[in-house]
Structure 1
Amino acid sequence: MSLQKDIHLYTASTMNGWKPVVFLEEAGVEYDLTHIDFSKNEQKAPDYVKLNPNGRIPTIVDRANNDFVVFESGAILWYLAEKYGKFLPSDPDEKSRTLQWLMFQMGGVGPMMGQAMYFQRIAAKNGNEDPFAIKRYVDESRRLMEVLDTHLEGKDFLVNNEYTIADMATYTWARAYYWANVSVDGLPHLQAWFDRIDDRPATQRALEIPKPFWAFFGKGDVEAQERENADRFKQDVKK
């Protein structure tokens, strides 16, 4: 009988859902995993909502800390980084810069690209195409990619040439530019950053947990996975 791990992660294969998986795989931390199945609406199950009142993924339970619960992907990364002393600079200024870029992802890259994806890959595929919204979110996502490209000039990673939780959080979203139909043409520093993180075995391993969804990155049977993804949210669009 195996012993329970300190960290119990509840997640699914989404950009936010992969963030803690990337950290745990990169840090070499063993963890227990529960795959939240959106097709069964498990994120809204009463037992799960007790852990995460927002009914979203991911969530962690730290059994080594009196079953302390953390929800919201950015907060989870920050908690894990402090708990394990990894992927977070110790210098106060560099730590603040890491938090700033983490919030840039949480407040900008994620929401804007998420809406670009939603209006094109879900709403439009379910008969609710809105060109104005699509242009708004695609254009803003492109602008944010340009901000990243400018910042990354001469840098390996977002903060002090050190791979941090800011990179982990931003990569899972920005690297899915294909799914948002956002061009990264003419952004060489951003593309070089993608290449550096693409080369990290732990990160690529994380993107297959709990199951791969390579269509986000323009790989595999995109049409079938797009249809599967759109069908999951069909009822939401009708409402």
Structure 2
Amino acid sequence: MIDLHYWPTPNGHKITLMLEETALEYAIHPVDISAGEQFRPEFLKIAPNNRMPAIVDHDPPGGGAPVSVFESGAILLYLAEKTGRFLPRDLRTRVQALEWLFWQMGGLGPMAGQNHHFTQYAPEKIPYAIDRYVRETARLYGVLDRRLAGRAFIAGDDYTIADMAAYPWVVSHEKQAQDLADFPEVKRWFEAIAARPATQRAYARGEGLAPRHASSSPEAQKAMFGNAPRP
């Protein structure tokens, strides 16, 4: 059994995508980031960066004590190694999948996240910041579009954790001021992943957890975007 500490955000969806694809048994433990639950001491024991998702695997490979993992990229890699799925064994293809996993972690996620913040949530509309992150998001979509030319998925013919990492950040393309018609390879790839039954199950798991506009209150804004409470 895997305990998944989760909220329906792009990083949270990455993990439900993987868990649904692998059919691992798991239980969701909601972490309402708009209510500040990511700062609870019991959560910080497994996720010291006060960010979800995090998992606790009660049946780790080799047995022994439960294993906790935080950071979505590390969780995807852990689950791929645990199951032997969605991470190629061939050296060169494996390297490519890992390169693009870290591309998402270091590029697409943070830049699209800043795009979301300044276009959707920031209390003051700052044209320079909005333009900066909308343009950088578009650049990254272009990088992905070129990568997908002639390939079914990011690392080649097979669906991998690199795709699971990137897809949830493209779901919100309209909020990021991106038109998928401008990125035909990304559009094709996006629609193929959206049609997967495991993808549909994964997103259904998050429905109802986060009320619409729950992040609009001053208290929620402070919990999500303010500094962590000092010890």
TM-score by length of 1: 0.87
Q: Return 174-183 or 29-38, whichever deviates more.
A: 174-183
Cα 1:17–1:115, aligned 2, differ >3 Å: closer, same or farther?
Answer: same
State whether structure 2 residue 155 is matched by structure 1 residue 156: no
Whether contact under 8 Å (1:142, 1:184) holds in the other structure is no
- Output one character per residue of 1:122-146: Cα deviation in whole Å (capped at 9) or x when no partner: 10xx3x1111001000000001001
Whether contact under 8 Å (2:142, 2:183) holds in the other structure is yes
Q: Distance in 1 between matches of 2:81 and 2:28?
A: 21
Query: What does residue 86 of structure 1 align with?
Result: 85
Whether contact under 8 Å (1:18, 1:209) holds in the other structure is no
Q: Distance in 2 between matches of 1:52 and 1:189?
A: 35
Q: Distance in 2 between matches of 1:79 and 1:23?
A: 11
Query: What does residue 109 of structure 2 align with?
Result: 110
Q: 2:161 aligns with which of 162, 165, 173?
A: 165
- Output one character per residue of 1:20-40: Cα deviation in whole Å (capped at 9) or x when no partner: 110000111111210111233
Aligned ranges for residues 2-21 of structure 1 at < 5 Å?
Answer: 5=1, 7-21=2-16
Query: What does residue 61 of structure 1 align with?
Result: 56
Q: Distance in 2 between matches of 1:81 and 1:121?
A: 34
Whether contact under 8 Å (1:35, 1:210) holds in the other structure is no
Deviation at 1:168, TM superposition (A): 0.4
Q: Which runs of 5+ in 2 are unaligned?
A: none
Deviation at 1:208, TM superposition (A): 2.2
Query: What does residue 233 of structure 1 align with?
Result: 221
Deviation at 1:236, TM superposition (A): 6.2
SS in 1 for 2:88: coil
SS in 1 for 2:96: helix
Cα 1:10–1:182, aligned 2, differ >3 Å: closer, same or farther?
Answer: same
SS in 2 for 1:111: helix
Cα 1:53–1:234, aligned 2, differ >3 Å: closer, same or farther?
Answer: closer
SS in 2 for 1:64: coil
Deviation at 1:95, TM superposition (A): 0.9
Identity %: 42
Cα 1:37–1:238, aligned 2, differ >3 Å: closer, same or farther?
Answer: closer
Cα 1:210–1:176, aligned 2, differ >3 Å: closer, same or farther?
Answer: same
Cα 1:38–1:62, aligned 2, differ >3 Å: closer, same or farther?
Answer: same
SS in 2 for 1:174: helix
Q: Distance in 2 between matches of 1:68 and 1:132?
A: 43
State whether structure 2 residue 143 is matched by structure 1 residue 147: yes
Whether contact under 8 Å (2:18, 2:164) holds in the other structure is yes
State whether structure 2 residue 127 is matched by structure 1 residue 131: yes
Deviation at 1:238, TM superposition (A): 7.9
Please provide the CA RMSD for this pair.
1.9
Query: What does residue 50 of structure 1 align with?
Result: 45
Whether contact under 8 Å (2:109, 2:169) holds in the other structure is yes
Deviation at 1:46, TM superposition (A): 0.5
Cα 1:213–1:156, aligned 2, differ >3 Å: closer, same or farther?
Answer: farther
